[in-house]
Amino acid sequence: MLRIANVTMHFGGIAALQNVSLDVMPGGIYSIIGPNGAGKTTLFNCISGIYRARSGSITFKGKELIGTKAHKISQMGIARAFQNIELFKGMTVLDNLMSARGFLHHYGLLAATLYLGRCAREERKCRDRVEEVIELLDLQKCRKTPVGALSYGVQKRVELGRALTMEPEMVLIDEPVSGMNLEETEDMARYILDVNEERNITVLLIEHDMGLVMDLSDRVTVLNFGVKIAEGSPDEIARNPEVISAYLGRQQS
């Protein structure tokens, strides 16, 4: 579904990504792990078109993404939930979720000024779809609350929700549980599983919480200093000596 082949990305003299290749099959949860600065978020930025990889190719359902504009990539069905919350602070939760569906509407400026016919119809349909996501993520209580007034954990959930309302085929989730307590982490894990299983959305996940990654993932890739050092099932990764020395750490005996 998503094929990344030999992607290289430099910032000045630093190689953030070096010949990274991976292949994401439809349907599963695919995790990318690695120490800080390993290039995980850079890889996401390359996929979603915020950065332009220097070489290599990224294809989604056979279409090349490198060089495609960011908003076109998201319209192709790759949604993104950001690591540092990038919500639209001036809007309510509802408007934030609805804002991500703009490209699914087909009315123009003139219809919008009158708010009649097609515009009103599509807005109502949009609201209907957004309510499904609100229900999925238990956001009913804070529908009309401005995002800035919500707690960090809920904002993270809205961030995920905003990606889902785009009706994507694949969602890139960047550290969904960083800074969360155990309970919130468990909730988020359940939401991610729901997203994957109920809505049939392929999940590409970056996360440092090993418990979460090992429990949820179907497949894991490990990056270190911009280089892919391992790929495999969670069990294989947990046993891989190179991964252990680079990231998981050796047990003191």
Complete edge-to-edge strand list for the sheet that includes strand 14-24: 14-24, 2-11, 55-60, 63-64
Class of residue 145 by CB neighbours under 10 A (exposed 0-12, middle 13-18, buried 19+): middle
Is residue 131 close enough to count as binding other proteins by CB under 8 A?
yes
Q: Which stretch binds other proteins (CB under 8 A): 27-35, 86-94, 191-199, 208-216?
A: 86-94
Listed in sequence order, the residues at least 6 apart from 203 whose beta carbon sits closer than 8 Å to its beta carbon are: 28, 29, 30, 170, 171, 173, 192, 195, 196
CB 237 within 8 A of CB 215: no
CB-nearer residue toward other proteins: 121 or 190: 121
Is residue 166 close enough to count as binding other proteins by CB under 8 A?
yes
CB-nearer residue toward other proteins: 122 or 138: 122
Is residue 42 close enough to count as binding other proteins by CB under 8 A?
no
Q: How far is the CB of 141 from other proteins (least distance, A)?
A: 12
Is residue 68 close enough to count as binding other proteins by CB under 8 A?
no
Of 30, 60, 82, 191, which lies in the binding site for other proteins, with binding defined by CB under 8 A? 82
Is residue 95 close enough to count as binding other proteins by CB under 8 A?
yes
Q: Which stretch binds other proteins (CB under 8 A): 95-103, 181-189, 204-212, 233-241?
A: 95-103
Q: Locate 124 and state its tokens.
A: 């109502």
Q: Which stretch binds other proteins (CB under 8 A): 34-42, 120-128, 201-209, 240-248?
A: 120-128
CB 170 within 8 A of CB 24: yes
CB 192 within 8 A of CB 173: yes
171 to 230, contacts with other proteins by CB under 8 A?
none
